[in-house]
Amino acid sequence: MIKPMSESKAVIFGCSGLSLTAEEKAFYRAEKPWGFILFGRNIGTEDQIRALVAELRDTIDNPDAPVLIDQEGGRVQRIKAPLAPAYPNAALLGALYSQDRETGLRAAWLMSRLHAIDLMKFGINVDCLPVLDVPIEGSHDVIGNRAYGFDPHLVAAMGQAAADGLKAGGVLPVMKHIPGHGRAFADSHLALPTVDTSLDELMSSDFVPFQALKHELMAMSAHVVYSALDADHPATTSAKIIRTVIRESIGFQGLLLSDDVSMNALSGTITDRTKAIVAGGCDIVLHCNGIMSEMVDVARHVVPLAGQALQRATRVTMAFADAEPADEQALRAEFAALIPTA
């Protein structure tokens, strides 16, 4: 039975450690975030992860609450060996595609299907994947080999295969970082990147993968200024970009999550950033670091889901489904056989 979300606040929170403190439990119960996100600091043992996921959901009395993680493969993989295999980065899968299209697509689907098997063992039901950014030569390696390649059509095809693999395993994807982080020459965790590329060129390259996957249910914004679109605000806080580019030109009508409000690409206090994200039109504010004082500030300035944001969030919740039957060992053997050919 899917619980109604009319009381859920438009926010996703992280937590500080391997289990919840009494303060965290009381805070989540009072504030009712829509979902949660896990990071490496939250990963210990199999039993501990399962217990933490259950504990998070219990605080908001919702056994189906979204629990997110960044499980891409390569250098962005929160659950590591021996709890989950060490998976290759997206660029290696893209190299397979360049050699043989069907092999590449199969590898992308398989890796995501295996991610889903790994994550569902712990009750984690959302993976912040696929990365649909299209890098250019010389851009910052904050994306780098997390991208499938430099061709937007390759990225779109591989991203769709990855998203489909997750969904086959009962895990929902979050495409990132809309409308594109690949051209950034700075790491948005540390500073605000500015992209000076024309709208026409962005439309023919960076936006292509997001437009191809516009039917997916969730996307995460880019903390990037596109000077040709809005010279004063990064996409995350730009009402103009969210309305005219993400919603209209790209055509994405799903649930739009901000990238992490704590990242230093955004300026001002946590309160300032939260207000700007809400005013810009993101449906959900994402706060990741688990610092209680910051979470309290964020919670003061987000409201319960309502209107279109509630409709989009409800579509996400209604889309959670059981995994399709699969032979895990056969899938792992098939994937392992593909990787040495890259």
Please say if 133 is a catalytic residue. Answer: no
- Comparing C-alpha atoms, which of 66, 51, 67 is closest to residue 19? 51
Question: CA-CA distances (angstroms) from residue 136 to 64, 214, 251?
Answer: 39, 22, 24
Q: Which residue in the list 118, 259, 260, 283 is annotated as catalytic? A: 259
What is the spatial distance between Cα 108 and Cα 93, in angstroms, rounded to a whole number? 6
Residue by residue, DSSP assigns 54-103 as HHHHHHTT-TT--EEE-EEETTEESS-TTTS--PPPHHHHHHHHHH-HHH
Measure the CA–CA gap between 114 and 97, rounded to whole angstroms.
Answer: 19
Cα separation, 49 vs 181, whole angstroms: 31
Distance CA 59, CA 15 (A): 12
Residue 130, preceding peptide bond in cis (omega within 30° of 0): yes
- Report residue 74: phi and psi, to 5°: 65, -140
Q: Tokens representing 221?
A: 């914004």
User: With helix as H, strand as E and coil as C, how does 4-61 read?
Assistant: CCCCCEEEEECCCCCCCCHHHHHHHHHHCEEEEEECHHHCCCHHHHHHHHHHHHHHCC
Burial 213-242 (b: 16+ CB within 10 A, else e): bbebbbbbbbbbbbeebbeebbbbbbeebb
| Partner residues linked to 36 by β-bridges | 13, 67
Q: Is 259 a catalytic residue?
A: yes
Active-site hit among 61, 100, 153, 189: 189
Cα separation values, 43 from 46, 50, 79, 80, 122, Å: 8, 10, 7, 9, 11
- Residues involved in catalysis: 189, 259
